[in-house]
Amino acid sequence: MVRGSSARICLWIHTVAPSHHAILAYTLGLAAFTAIVRIWYPIDRWKDLLFVVPAEIAHLPQYLSLFIVGILAYRRDWFRRLPTNTGMTWLVIGSTAAVARYAYSLVGRRFIPSITASGGPSWRSLVYSTWEAFICVGLCVGLLVLFRDRFNKSGKLLSTLSDSSYTVYIIHLFVVIGLQYGLVESPLPPFVKFALVTLVGVPICFTLSYLIKKLSFTKKIDPVSSSLFCDKGNSRSTKHNPLQSGIQQELNFKG
């Protein structure tokens, strides 16, 4: 009986998408851990990881945890299983938090004393880390569901860009930092610099990604398939999954 119950729990874990409570728990945990890291590494303090990759330690909790959650989401098919109402709820949460954050930066500081800090052992840092976590998680969950349900289309250009997206994710840091260094001494306003780096950096990243994928050794590396959202006719949930099949056979045997 215990074995059968364990099998049912395992099957539930691998087939059910995260609930509101699970997403909220992750968001609060991310906020707390980020605030702790920022006691020693406030925002805009950069370090070289492995003496090669420049990294802002203050945001590493987000990067690392979301990378792990993304792997789990793909393996457990959360992208397709996540209910629309859950995604839309978190899209509202993330969008509201983002609008409130920018409104406070532009106008709110004139009327409300500073309630945020980039780091250090203060409640203001915890407020900012929590605010940031709700923006991050809310938009990540919400936008994925929004694009899955409303913009699930593909074409030659979109397929090419989708196939290159993972490589872009890996190499974009070096391209963006290189362009930023090139504009450090420029007298242009920050927003103009941001626009230039974006307009120049995006084509460079996707062009480099396309060329890298043409190399013979990279063809052996096949990360998350671009069919994750675009291939409606071949849903991943219909493919054979040895883990789920094994658990289901265990349940059938117990039944």
What does pLDDT average to over the chain?
Answer: 82
pTM, two decimals, is 0.73
pLDDT surpasses 90 at 151: no
Alpha-carbon dihedral sign for residues 35, 41, 45, 48: negative
User: Rounded to an integer, what distance in angstroms lies between the CA atom of residue 61 and that of residue 57?
Assistant: 8
Res 109: pLDDT: 77
User: Rounded to an integer, what distance in angstroms lies between the CA atom of residue 75 and that of residue 229?
Assistant: 14
Res 200: pLDDT: 96
Res 236: pLDDT: 44
User: Rounded to an integer, what distance in angstroms lies between the CA atom of residue 129 and that of residue 150?
Assistant: 31
Look at the chain and count its residues: 255
Average pLDDT over residues 85-101: 96
